[in-house]
Amino acid sequence: MDNENRQQDFSLEKLRQGDRAEFARLVEAYSPLIYRLGLKMLNNPQDAEDILQETFIKAYQHLGDFDGRSSPATWLYRIATNEALMSLRKKRPELISLEEPLSDTSQPQEPMQILDWCCLPEEDYLTAESLEALDRSIDALPASLRIVFVLRDIQGLSTREVAEILDLSETAVKTRLSRARLRLRELLTTYFGDILSER
Amino acid sequence: MKMGKHPECRHLLASLSGYIDGELEEELCAEIERHMQDCENCCVVVDTLRKTISLYQTTAASTSLPEEARQRLYRRLDLDEFLNA
Q: Is domain A3-91 annotated with CATH 1.10.260.40?
A: no
pLDDT at position A7 is 42
Q: How far apart are CA B10 and CA B12, in angstroms?
A: 6
Say if B1 falls within a structural domain.
no
Q: Nearest chain B residue to A25 by CA: give it.
A: B82
CA A194 to chain centre: 28
Q: Provide CATH code, domain A103-197.
A: 1.10.10.10
pLDDT at position A3 is 44
pLDDT at position B20 is 97
Closest CA to A38 of B60, B29, B85: B60
Say if B69 falls within a structural domain.
yes
- Domain total in chain B: 1
Looking at every residue in chain A, the average pLDDT score rounds to 89
pLDDT digits (tens, 9 = 90+) for B37-48: 999 999 999 999
Say if B45 falls within a structural domain.
yes
Whether A176 and A144 have beta carbons less than 8 Å apart is answered as: yes
For the residues A155-173, what does the mean pLDDT come to?
96
Q: Which of B17, B36, B82 to mutate to test the interface with A (most CBs of A within 10 A)?
A: B17
Say if B59 falls within a structural domain.
yes
Q: Where in the sequence of chain A do the CATH 1.10.10.10 domains occur? A: 103-197
Say if B30 falls within a structural domain.
yes
Q: How far apart are CA A69 and CA B18, in angstroms?
A: 28
Q: How far apart are CA A120 and CA A113, in angstroms?
A: 17
ipTM of this predicted structure: 0.91
Q: How far apart are CA B83 and CA B72, in angstroms?
A: 10
For the residues A77-90, what does the mean pLDDT come to?
95
Q: Which domain holds residue B31?
A: 7-82
Q: Does A118 contact B82 at a Cβ distance shorter than 8 Å?
A: no
CB-CB neighbors (< 8 A) of A55 in chain B? none
pLDDT at position A98 is 47
pLDDT at position A68 is 84
Q: How confident is the model at residue A197 (pLDDT cuts 50, 70, 90)?
A: confident
Residue type, B79: L
A121, pLDDT greater than 60: yes
Q: Where in the sequence of chain A do the CATH 1.10.1740.10 domains occur? A: 3-91
Q: Nearest chain B residue to A51 by CA: give it.
A: B73
pLDDT digits (tens, 9 = 90+) for B8-65: 888 899 899 999 999 999 999 999 999 999 999 999 999 999 999 999 999 998 899 9
